[in-house]
Amino acid sequence: MNLRLITIFVFASEKAKIEQILKDHSINELWHDSIGDKKVITRALVPAQSSEKILDSLEENFGGKEGFRVIILPVEGSVPRLEEKDSNEKVSRISREELYTGITKNVEFNWVYVALVIFSVLVASAGVIYENVPMIVGSMVIAPFLGPSVAFSFATILGDLRLLAKSLFILFVGVLIALAFSSLMGTVFPFEISSEIKMRTDVHLFDVIVSLVSGSVGVLSYTTATLTSLAGVMVAVALLPPLVVTGLLIGIGEFSLATGAFFLFLVNLIGINLAGVITFLFQKIHPRTFMEKEKARLITLLAIILLLTILAFTIIVVFI
């Protein structure tokens, strides 16, 4: 059973109200601890799928009040074992707040991100030049583009323009770094065009399907708290190799083939983000307040229209 330990800090006068709010939701156990005469700590053990509605109720009743704070912790185990309770909640994901924390911490532009992009490009370049599949897979495991790609879709669903701009900036800079270093590799180390390079210079229908699946897998890895290297590989397999091939071909002056590889990268990038937005929508992730929801709906609609337009235009250009 997937559980969360919710710790609530409030003034003692709010204890009864806290209990009433929690009784309206599915909880397994409840404890109270006093901090002096004025404050109380309430701990509730709840199913993960119930945590978002509990957090929304707490925010609605206590948000902005002095001394109010909620901390959420995943429960790895319990002794004695807890029996699973029937819950009316149909949500099979972690809470919006947990998602926000988990996603935003992987969207930072720092030397680690730059290093991961460079390392993945170096390994991928060697892999496609020498047709070494294990090397190519190894570069995908590094997966520097998973965080900003998922963050873009998440920010779109929430209407969070600040996170949206940040994720786009980090992704854009990462792409520029990858192109620059792969072009340098192509210039410094002349090579023959291998089959691994040729196969990434054309766009096929199956590539679009892979990009959509990759985007959905990337989002699900976050929303179900099962983040593994597999999700990163799925995203990287669609983005990193065609991007590296684009740079390598630019480095040796094969601009026509480089254009084909870049179109493949662009189709995959759009497909991943489109699938990410749709997957978040399917899991009913949205802001808490009415005004925020309306803003998020507009931004989401505009983003889907823009992504579909770019994807359709790119496919038309490629196949016509």
pLDDT tens-digit map of 161-210 = 999 999 999 999 999 999 999 999 898 888 888 888 888 888 887 888 88
Residue 92 has a pLDDT of 67
Give the residue from 173, 168, 163, 164 showing the smallest Cα distance to 116: 173
Residue 90 has a pLDDT of 56
Query: In this structure, what token pair is assigned to residue 15?
Result: 């204890």
Cβ-Cβ contacts under 8 Å for 141 (sequence gap 6 or more): 229, 232, 233, 236
> Mean pLDDT, the chain, as a whole number?
85
pLDDT tens-digit map of 45-94 = 888 888 888 888 888 888 878 888 899 988 888 887 777 665 555 556 78
Residue 232 has a pLDDT of 63
**How far apart are alpha carbons 189 and 21 in whole angstroms?**
65
Determine phi and psi for 226, rounding to 5 degrees: -125, 45
pLDDT tens-digit map of 154-175 = 999 999 999 999 999 999 999 9
| pLDDT confidence bin for 37, thresholds 50/70/90 | confident
List the domain boundaries for the chain.
3-75, 96-319
Residue 236 has a pLDDT of 67
pLDDT tens-digit map of 214-230 = 888 888 888 876 655 55
Say if residues 183 and 250 touch (Cβ distance below 8 Å).
Answer: yes
316, burial (CB in 10 Å: exposed 0-12, middle 13-18, buried 19+) = exposed
**How far apart are alpha carbons 211 and 269 in whole angstroms?**
7
DSSP 65-125: -TT-EEEEEEE---SSPPPPPP------S--HHHHHHHHHTT---SHHHHHHHHHHHHHHH
Give the residue from 234, 261, 259 showing the smallest Cα distance to 245: 261
- The answer, yes or no, to whether the previous bond of 148 is cis (omega within 30 of 0) is no
**How far apart are alpha carbons 310 and 267 in whole angstroms?**
8
State how far Cα 161 lies from the chain centre: 16
Neighbouring CB atoms inside 10 A of 36's CB total: 7
Query: In this structure, what token pair is assigned to residue 225?
Result: 């708290």
Quick one: how many helices (H) and strands (E) in the chain? 12, 4
pLDDT tens-digit map of 285-301 = 888 777 788 899 999 99
Say if residues 131 and 191 touch (Cβ distance below 8 Å).
Answer: no
How is domain 3-75 classified at the CATH fold level?
Answer: Alpha-Beta Plaits (3.30.70)
pLDDT tens-digit map of 87-130 = 555 556 788 888 898 888 888 889 999 999 999 899 888 888 88
**How far apart are alpha carbons 301 and 152 in whole angstroms?**
14
Residue 161 has a pLDDT of 92
Say if residues 262 and 242 touch (Cβ distance below 8 Å).
Answer: yes
Give the residue from 58, 74, 76 showing the smallest Cα distance to 9: 58
| pLDDT confidence bin for 277, thresholds 50/70/90 | very high
Predicted confidence (pLDDT) at residue 276 exceeds the cutoff of 70: yes
Query: In this structure, what token pair is assigned to residue 238?
Result: 């669609």
Q: Is 10 helix (H, G, I), strand (E, B) or coil?
A: strand
